[in-house]
A and B are shown apart, each in its own frame.
Chain A
Amino acid sequence: MISTDPQLIKNIVSNGERLDGRGMYDYRKITIEKGAVATADGSARVKLGNTEVICGVKFSVGEPFSDTPDEGVLMVAAEFVPLASPEFESGPPGEEAVEASRVVDRAIRESKVIDFKKLCITPGEKVWMVFVDIDVLDNDGNLIDAASLAAIAALFDAKLPGLKEDGKIDYDNKSDQGLQINGIPLSTTFAKVGDSIIADPDLSEAEAVDARLTVGTFDKDGDVLLCSMQKGGSVGLTVEELEKIIDLAISKGKELRKMVANA
């Protein structure tokens, strides 16, 4: 694989420019295609520049957790399959895939936009389990944001399956009942390269990135709130840099939410 010299990237970024001509806080072009997988109960394919991920939502009926007997269960998993990059290896999810799925999960869960009590079938016995599986098809960097867009778009696309009289899922009949989702939680990722902050780092920039901060935001009654944060990378951020990124995440979140709403 041809890689770009990290020092070159650092030099370009320090001049307030980016290799692909984007502005410092610009995202790459985003396309969201809902209903991309016929077999899933909800799905979305997202392109973020040349990064491409696909997300499928499947429902099943299962037992609730003992501490939340009247709530449905959400599970987010991500696979960084070797198809998507020469760097990815087969086998169980590595730490980056685990982190990505947990960060995406956290933003959706903590925002409380989904009322899991509505996904209870029989308290203490049967609830809807919502499986959100993210497959990376092409890795050109910033998989967390791409996965986050795909996951929430797929959840909006999802329709609950019908239930047979014996309580089992009727795979032949989908209901037209979607999930009730009150807001759009999204992850937005910013990176520190030298002394500069950039949005949506792509793969050519990844090697030059010192630190990363992913901020989960969502909209509630016209306000924008934060619901999750995750720092990455092996260099620290100053408090001032953190505050700057929080502000940027709030304004970028607004832009990205419009795309999900219109998808």
Chain B
Amino acid sequence: MNIVEFKRIDGRKHDEFRPIEARVGVLQKADGSAYFRLGNTVAIAGVYGPRKVHPRHEEQLDRAILRTRYNMAPFATTERGRPGYSRRSIEISMVTRQAINPVIFLEEFPKTAIDVHIEVLQADASTRCVGINAACLALADAGIPMRDLVASCSAGKVNGNIILDIAGKEDTEGEVDLPVAYYPKKKHVTLLQMDGIVTREEAKEIVKLAVGGTKKIYEAQKSALRKKYEIEGEKNDIY
């Protein structure tokens, strides 16, 4: 790839993330919880379960059901958003569930529900990615057995340049946004969406940049989890 380095609106390199912050165990009532921040995009996720299924008819005899709810706070955007479910949040809740589903041992908890609630508190692009990152940490924090963590980020095209982690003006003025979620152990892309006009080659390049970017998110997730179980004075580097 022959990329001439150019300056982005906020001065980042083409493959540079905004500041990443991840914390685990941030809520008291939820069985597991996490905070994830990517620049000015902030989400908190809380997990309840495995618990009894209501309504009962959704119950599955051989496995737990995974339910996800992505919600954006009315104050998370520049212009106030309408509270409650929107068609957008229904779709994002669905793709979020499909993104996380492969890594959870649902078969370990028949006839139960695992509920994942994602609350976007600040929105500056990639909210679904930040929500997924928080959700996976919250699931791990709740002690739900998982095959791996799913890490998510987006890449896109702005002014003809292919860049990682679109934010701010890049989001409103950019041509293409492509979020992915990645299951590293299996090398599987578990979420992929795109809008905007690209050639076949650009599409493939953006996918590769986004998938490559999830590596750094994955590291941030792992270190947040490790930090929670750190024993003071001991270096926890068994992984």
Query: For the complex, is B188 an interface residue (Cβ under 8 Å from A)?
Result: yes
- The bracket for how many chain B residues form the interface is 20 to 34
Query: For the complex, is B77 an interface residue (Cβ under 8 Å from A)?
Result: no
**B195 touching A227, Cβ below 8 Å:** yes
Query: For the complex, is B190 an interface residue (Cβ under 8 Å from A)?
Result: yes
List A contacts of B182 (CB < 8 A).
236
A237 to B189, CA, bound (A): 5
* Cβ-Cβ contact count across A and B, 8 Å cutoff: 98
A213 to B98, CA, bound (A): 13
A-B contacts besides A95-B94, A229-B178, A238-B187, 7 pairs, CB < 8 Å: A95-B93, A99-B95, A110-B197, A232-B95, A237-B189, A246-B204, A247-B200
Query: For the complex, is A263 an interface residue (Cβ under 8 Å from B)?
Result: no
| Number of A positions contacting B (CB below 8 A) | 34
Query: For the complex, is A83 an interface residue (Cβ under 8 Å from B)?
Result: no
List A contacts of B191 (CB < 8 A).
231
Query: For the complex, is B36 an interface residue (Cβ under 8 Å from A)?
Result: no
Q: A98-B91, A99-B91, A250-B200 are in contact. Are A231 and B193 (CB under 8 A)?
A: yes
Which residues in window 68-102 of B have CB below 8 A to A?
Answer: 87-88, 90-91, 93-95, 97-98, 101-102
List A contacts of B87 (CB < 8 A).
98, 101-102
Q: Which of B93, B95, B187, B188 has most chain A Cβ within 10 Å?
A: B188
Report the minimal beta-carbon distance from B77 to chain A, rounded to whole angstroms: 12
* Closest partner residue, chain A, to B193 (CB atom): A230
Report the minimal beta-carbon distance from A173 to chain B, rounded to whole angstroms: 34
Report the minimal beta-carbon distance from A243 to chain B, rounded to whole angstroms: 5
Which residues in window 178-237 of B have CB below 8 A to A?
Answer: 178, 182-183, 186-200, 203-204, 207-208, 211
**B200 touching A246, Cβ below 8 Å:** yes
**B203 touching A229, Cβ below 8 Å:** yes
Report the minimal beta-carbon distance from A132 to chain B, rounded to whole angstroms: 14
List B contacts of A142 (CB < 8 A).
none
**B197 touching A95, Cβ below 8 Å:** no
List B contacts of A233 (CB < 8 A).
98
**A226 touching B91, Cβ below 8 Å:** no
Across chains A and B, which 8 residue pairs bring their CB atoms closest together, nearest first?
A236-B188, A229-B194, A231-B192, A236-B190, A234-B101, A95-B94, A110-B195, A98-B90
List A contacts of B196 (CB < 8 A).
110, 227
